[in-house]
Each structure stands twice: as structure tokens, then as C-alpha cells.
């Protein structure tokens, strides 16, 4: 047997091979880890450090100094911050039923064996691949005051009794207007998730219910809805997290206005950090945002476990 | 031959009343959902912003009498006031480099985590999964300070390097690589193939489905990025098309004609890919969920 011959060299070659393999593994692993360290871990840790200092975006002659928890105190006692948080919650409460409800409706419809279902599915997914910036261009013309399509539709349907409404400029309507365009842009993703969930429900259940004489509505409530329990939890979670990060639409269309009615946490953070250049202060906001997102995910993980 | 038998010949069966209701609702929903996009394309072919706004309130929003490409001609240049040719090329360049680099480094890292022999792989993997929870939004401010300090601001590297490596894509590759039977890896090792060789000639060809998923998800993500490039680009040099289009807003007059043309310009590459790889798009989005 070969292991009898020259055991020392054999060990050495083995060691050399192991060494070479180790270096190779390191070489393949490092690019990703180094990039993640520099551009994810370091900024994340920096945000904790910055939040305790008065760091500015453009450095001043005087270096930034440690100021303890002052940033957090200021953020939490600023009515504008609470306003932005409340707006995000309002946005979430409005967008959740509209976006998820519409996603479920379309998913159920394209899950039927109807003619042209693939064409319908492709068309209904189109908004989801459109950039939010483009969506803003389109919808701001749809919302035109006083002669945009939505206003003509409103006036036509009510025989001129209602409207015209300055959708994006009216403090009562600006948030619902953002909700509608956001739901239109994003529902396709939830639709696909629901579709995957629907396809996991055994068709035999539906056949059995049909034999028992259950109508379409009963089948939906007693088979489809319970079968989608886990999907619901997941969809609600991702929609909520997305909603808490609301920024692009607000930044382009309303700048948080009118009267701060559409200001959001991320918009507030970018405003204080980028426009007012108070990076320390903005970092405190970003940590609060992180804690909120983390809390939502943890709650979801619990619910997912309970649902399965 | 009656109409219904003719239809049946083309794969139609007699539809129940419920199915007809469903089909009609689906048609109406699809028209309503797609109409904003149709309005966009039609508007981009109208002569000027006055015509666009005048037609918006009526069905004329869906029709253009004498289509013109003037709006496109106005923006498709590489210098001047509206260098959208440049912005488009910038976006394509940023997307291609990020996706190519991302595919390579994420899959390599995932491969070592799945089949390497070094110690601490499990720890690295769980740290990566934990990192996945950090939202981009909550690191952009310190990242901006960092990028400024590294002298990368207003360039391409600041838009490419931060998003190449990603815990979620490493994890997608890892999950896929783990499913490959152990025997294949062992057999290749016995033949004296190095780890990189096993990765390159066995795992890369096998992993085309995951490659496609990551390409689509990362590609869409990069193409539509707004917040970060907005923070990091100050000049036209590396500005992507998304930030440039947002620049139409916030001026005294919004030039809807050129804004619409620029939007269509940004949409077309995505649409072309979508037409060819529809199934992949849907599967990618659904697959990312399970991951």
C-alpha cells in the first residue's frame, strides 16, 4: 500500500495541498466578504458612531465631537419626526388593503384556466417592472389639476358635481394619491407571490367542495383563504417594510408637502442628512428606522411560525 | 360551422357563466392597469407639452394624429442640455458591471461556503443571513460620508462597488449549490481538480437558472435605483437615467414631452428583456420569496 512508503513526504504534500486549497478558498471568498465589510458592515457600524456625534456631511475645520444621546433626544422631541412616522403608518394602513387586495384578486383570476391567461399575467406584471421614476412621470400627468384624466373621470362619473381635485397639492388627497400610484406600481410582485401560494393548494380540495355543492364564493372563503395563511403573513410583511421605506415618490412628486402631510421617515432622514448636512442627526433617524424594520420582521417571523 | 365550434377548434372550450364573468373582469382590469403605460408611449409621440396636457383629459390621451420622434431627437444626445444618450449609456454600464461582478463574486463565495473545507463557514453564513436584514435606506448616510472620504463620489465606482456583493444573492447561490449531490464534488476532488476548477467547470454551468434569477433581480434593482445615485452624483458624468428623469420635476415648467420620451427610453430595454424572458422574470420574483 502506498501509505507505507515515505510517510513524511506524503504528509508534507498533503499539507501543501491543504495549504493551497485554503488559499484558493480564501481567494474565492474574499472579494464578496471584503466588499460587504467595506460597504455594508462599516457603514452600519458608522451609523451607530455618527449618531452619537455631531458629524457633518462636508467636514468643518473643527472635527466632529461626541455628544452622547443628544441626537436621539432631538429626533424624538421633534414634532416633524413624529409627523413623518405617523404619515408612514397612515400610508401603510391605506396601501396594505388596496395593494394586497388587488394582488389577491388578480392572482385568483389568472390562476383560473381561462383563455389568454398568460397574456393577462404578462400585462398585469408590467407595472412591477416599471421604475418608480417613470411611474411618477406618468401619474403626475394623470393627476394634473384641473384637466387631468382622473379629474375628467371624476367629473364625468359625478356629472360635474365633484372635483376637480388637486390630487397631489391638496393636503387631504396627497397621501391617498401617493397610495394609489404606489399600489399600481408594486402590486405585481404580491400578485406573483399569491399566485405561487395558490398553486400550492391542492386542486382535489376544490373538486371535493364542488361535489359537495359549494359555490365559488364558499370555495374562496373556506379553501383559498385558509390555504393562503402563510402567504398572507409574508405579503403583509414585505408590503409593510416597503411602505416604511417610502421615499422616491415623495421626493419627486410632493417633497413631503403640502404642509408636511406626505413627509416620510426616509424623506425626513435624507432631508436632515443630505440637505441640512447633519449626518449625525440623520444617523440617529436611520437607527430608529432600522429598529422599526427589525421589529416588524421579528413579529412576522413569529407569525409565520404560528401559521405553519 | 357555428362560431362556438370554430372557437373550440382553436382550443376554446365552452365557458361557464362564472368563467365569462371572470374573463370580462380580467379584461377590464388589464385595460385599466395597462392604460397609464399606453398614455405614456402615446404622449411621447406628441409634438409638444401643450398638446400632451390638452389631450390628457379626454380619450385623445390614447391617440396621436401625426406622431413625431422630435421629442426623442431632442434628448438623444451625449452633450447639451438633455444628454439622455449619455445617461442611458451610464445606466447600462453601471448595470452590466454590477451584474457581471455580482454573479462572479457572489457565486464564488457561495460555493466556498457550500463545498469548501475551511473552518468557520457556518459562522460566516449565519452572519451573512443576519446582515440581510439591514435595509439600504438605513446605511446610505454613513455610506455617503465613507464614499466621499474614499474619493469615490460623483463617479461610477461609488454606484457599482457597494451593490455587487449581497447576502441575499450569496444565499440564493448557496441554497442551489447545496443541492448538488456530494458524489459529484468528491469524484472531481479524487480526480485532482482544484476547488476553483470544480466551481468553474461543474457548478457554473449547472447554476444557469440561479444566474438568470440573480441577473434579473439585481438588474432590475440596479436599473431602478434612485435614492443612492441621487445622493452620489453631482454632475452628468456618471448620472444614471433614473436620476436624470427625476430632474424634470422641481422646475418651473415641466417639459412633459421630453420627460415622456425619456421615460419610454428608460422603459424600452427592460421591456425587451421582459418580452424574451417573461417566464424567468416571474420565476425569479416568486423564487426570491422562497429564499
Residues B242 and B284 in one domain: yes
Residues B131 and B274 in one domain: yes
Q: What is the pLDDT of residues A84-95, one digit of tens each?
A: 999 999 999 999
Is there a domain that residue B39 lies in?
yes
Containing domain of residue B109, as a range?
Answer: 84-290
A268, closest residue in chain B (CA to CA)? B137
Is there a domain that residue B78 lies in?
no
Is there a domain that residue B96 lies in?
yes
Residue A145 buriedness (CB in 10 A; 0-12 / 13-18 / 19+): middle
Q: Give the residue from B13, B35, B68 where a domain finishes.
A: B68
Separation of first and last alpha carbons in chain A: 55
B54, closest residue in chain A (CA to CA)? A147
Is there a domain that residue B130 lies in?
yes
Residues B99 and B170 in one domain: yes
**Number of structural domains found in chain B:** 2
Residues B15 and B155 in one domain: no
Q: Are B118 and A19 in contact (CB under 8 A)?
A: no
CB contact under 8 A, B138 and A33: no
Give residue A33's pLDDT.
Answer: 96
CB contact under 8 A, A130 and B226: no
Is there a domain that residue B148 lies in?
yes
Residues B89 and B54 in one domain: no
Q: What is the CATH number of the domain that holds B196?
A: 1.10.3720.10
CB contact under 8 A, B108 and A279: no
CB contact under 8 A, A31 and B165: yes
Residues B131 and B44 in one domain: no
CB contact under 8 A, A36 and B199: no
Q: Give the residue from B40, B68, B96 where a domain finishes.
A: B68
Residues B182 and B211 in one domain: yes
| CA distance to partner chain A, nearest, from residue B219 (Å) | 11
| DSSP state, residue A144 | -
Residues B119 and B230 in one domain: yes
Give residue B1's pLDDT.
Answer: 53
Chain B interface includes A275 (CB < 8 A): no
How far apart (Å, rounded) are the C-alpha atoms in residues B208 and B226? 29
Q: Looking at per-residue confidence, does A6 or A254 come out higher?
A: A254
Q: Looking at per-residue confidence, does A112 or B170 come out higher?
A: B170
Give residue A10's pLDDT.
Answer: 72
Tally A–B CB contacts below 8 A: 274
Residues of B within 8 A of A151 (CB-CB) are 57
Residues B125 and B168 in one domain: yes
Residues B143 and B192 in one domain: yes
CB contact under 8 A, A29 and B167: no
Residues B192 and B216 in one domain: yes
- Which helix H or strand E contains A274, and what residues bound it? none
Q: Give the residue from B38, B68, B98 where a domain finishes.
A: B68
Q: Are B219 and B95 in contact (CB under 8 A)?
A: yes
CB contact under 8 A, B124 and A286: no
Is there a domain that residue B77 lies in?
no
Give residue B96's pLDDT.
Answer: 96
Residues B130 and B246 in one domain: yes
Q: What is the pLDDT of residues B96-106, one digit of tens each?
A: 999 999 999 99
| DSSP state, residue A99 | I
Q: What is the pLDDT of residues A257-283, one digit of tens each?
A: 788 999 999 999 999 999 999 999 999
HEC letters along chain B:
CCHHHHHHHCCCCCCCHHHHHHHHHHHHHHHHHHHHHHHHHHHHCCCCHHHHHHHHCCHHHHCCCCCCCHHHHHHECCCCCCEHHHHHHHHHHHHHHHHHHHHHHHHHHHHHHHHCCCCCHHHHHHHHHHHCCCCHHHCHHHHHHHHHHCCCCCCCHHHHHHHHCCHHHHHHHHHHHHCCCHHHHHHHHHCCCCHHHHHHHHHHHHCHHHHHHHHHHHHHHHHHCCHHHHHHCCCCCCCCHHHHHHCCCCCCCCCHHHHHHHHHHHHHHHHHHHHHCHHHHHHHHHHHHHC
Report the pLDDT averaged over residues A47-64: 86
Report the pLDDT averaged over residues A5-11: 60
Please name the residues between 128 and 187 in chain A that touch chain B, using a CB distance below 8 Å: 128-134, 136-142, 144, 147-149, 151-152, 184
Q: Are B224 and B242 in contact (CB under 8 A)?
A: yes
Is pLDDT above 90 for B225?
A: yes
Give residue A2's pLDDT.
Answer: 46
Which of the residues B28, B134, B142, B289 would you substitute to probe the A interface, choosing the one with the greatest number of A C-beta atoms within 10 Å? B142
Give residue A286's pLDDT.
Answer: 95
ipTM of the predicted structure? 0.89
Amino acid at each position: 500500500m502506498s501509505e507505507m512508503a515515505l510517510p513524511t513526504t506524503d504528509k508534507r504534500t498533503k499539507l501543501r495541498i491543504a495549504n493551497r486549497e485554503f488559499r484558493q478558498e480564501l481567494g474565492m471568498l474574499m472579494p464578496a466578504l471584503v466588499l460587504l465589510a467595506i460597504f455594508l458592515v462599516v457603514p452600519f457600524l458608522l451609523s451607530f458612531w455618527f449618531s452619537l456625534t455631531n458629524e457633518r456631511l462636508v467636514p468643518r475645520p473643527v472635527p466632529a465631537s461626541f455628544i452622547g444621546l443628544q441626537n436621539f433626544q432631538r429626533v424624538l422631541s421633534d414634532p416633524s419626526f413624529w409627523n413623518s412616522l405617523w404619515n408612514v403608518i397612515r400610508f401603510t394602513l391605506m396601501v396594505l388593503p388596496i395593494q394586497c387586495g388587488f394582488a389577491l384578486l388578480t392572482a385568483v383570476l389568472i390562476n383560473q384556466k381561462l383563455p389568454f391567461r398568460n397574456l393577462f399575467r404578462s400585462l398585469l406584471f408590467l407595472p412591477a417592472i416599471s421604475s418608480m421614476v417613470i411611474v411618477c412621470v406618468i401619474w403626475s400627468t394623470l393627476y394634473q389639476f384641473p384637466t387631468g384624466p382622473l379629474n375628467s373621470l371624476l367629473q364625468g362619473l359625478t356629472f360635474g358635481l365633484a372635483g376637480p381635485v388637486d390630487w397631489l397639492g391638496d393636503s387631504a388627497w396627497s397621501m391617498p394619491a401617493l397610495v394609489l400610484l404606489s399600489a399600481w406600481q408594486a402590486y405585481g410582485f404580491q400578485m406573483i407571490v399569491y399566485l405561487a401560494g395558490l398553486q400550492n393548494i391542492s386542486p382535489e380540495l376544490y373538486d371535493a367542495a364542488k361535489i359537495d355543492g359549494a359555490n365559488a364564493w364558499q370555495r374562496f372563503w373556506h379553501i383559498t383563504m385558509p390555504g393562503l395563511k402563510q402567504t398572507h403573513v409574508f405579503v403583509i410583511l414585505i408590503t409593510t417594510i416597503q411602505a416604511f421605506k417610502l421615499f422616491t415618490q415623495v421626493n419627486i412628486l410632493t417633497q413631503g408637502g403640502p404642509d408636511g402631510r406626505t413627509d416620510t421617515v426616509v424623506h425626513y432622514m435624507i432631508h436632515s442628512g443630505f440637505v441640512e448636512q447633519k449626518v449625525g442627526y440623520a444617523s440617529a433617524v436611520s437607527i430608529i428606522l432600522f429598529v422599526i424594520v427589525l421589529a416588524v420582521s421579528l413579529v412576522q417571523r413569529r407569525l409565520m411560525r404560528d401559521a405553519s | 360551422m357555428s362560431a362556438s365550434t370554430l372557437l373550440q377548434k382553436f382550443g376554446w372550450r365552452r365557458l361557464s357563466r362564472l368563467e365569462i364573468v371572470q374573463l370580462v373582469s380580467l379584461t377590464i382590469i388589464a385595460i385599466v392597469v395597462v392604460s397609464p403605460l399606453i398614455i405614456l408611449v402615446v404622449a411621447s409621440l406628441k409634438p409638444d407639452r401643450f398638446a400632451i396636457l390638452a389631450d390628457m383629459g379626454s380619450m385623445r390621451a390614447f391617440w396621436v394624429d401625426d406622431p413625431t420622434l422630435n421629442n426623442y431627437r431632442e434628448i438623444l444626445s451625449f452633450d447639451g442640455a438633455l444628454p439622455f444618450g449619455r445617461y442611458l449609456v451610464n445606466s447600462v454600464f453601471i448595470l452590466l458591471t454590477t451584474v457581471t461582478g455580482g454573479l462572479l463574486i457572489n457565486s464564488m463565495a457561495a460555493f466556498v461556503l457550500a463545498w469548501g473545507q475551511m473552518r468557520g463557514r457556518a459562522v460566516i453564513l449565519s452572519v451573512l443571513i443576519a446582515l440581510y436584514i439591514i435595509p439600504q435606506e438605513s446605511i446610505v448616510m454613513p455610506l455617503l460620508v465613507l464614499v466621499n472620504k474614499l474619493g469615490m463620489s460623483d463617479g461610477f465606482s461609488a454606484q457599482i462597488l457597494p451593490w455587487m456583493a449581497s447576502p441575499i444573492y450569496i444565499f440564493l447561490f448557496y441554497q442551489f449549490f447545496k443541492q448538488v449531490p456530494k458524489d459529484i464534488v468528491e469524484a472531481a476532488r479524487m480526480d485532482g481538480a482544484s476547488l476553483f476548477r470544480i466551481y468553474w467547470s461543474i457548478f457554473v454551468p449547472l447554476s444557469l437558472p440561479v444566474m438568470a434569477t440573480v441577473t434579473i433581480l439585481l438588474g432590475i434593482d440596479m436599473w431602478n435605483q434612485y435614492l443612492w445615485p441621487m445622493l452620489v452624483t453631482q454632475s452628468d458624468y456618471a448620472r444614471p437615467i433614473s436620476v436624470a428623469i427625476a430632474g424634470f420635476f422641481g422646475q418651473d415648467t415641466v417639459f412633459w414631452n421630453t420627460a415622456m420620451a425619456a421615460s419610454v427610453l428608460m422603459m424600452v430595454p427592460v421591456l425587451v428583456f421582459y418580452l424574451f424572458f417573461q417566464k424567468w422574470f416571474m420565476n425569479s420574483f416568486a423564487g426570491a420569496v422562497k429564499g
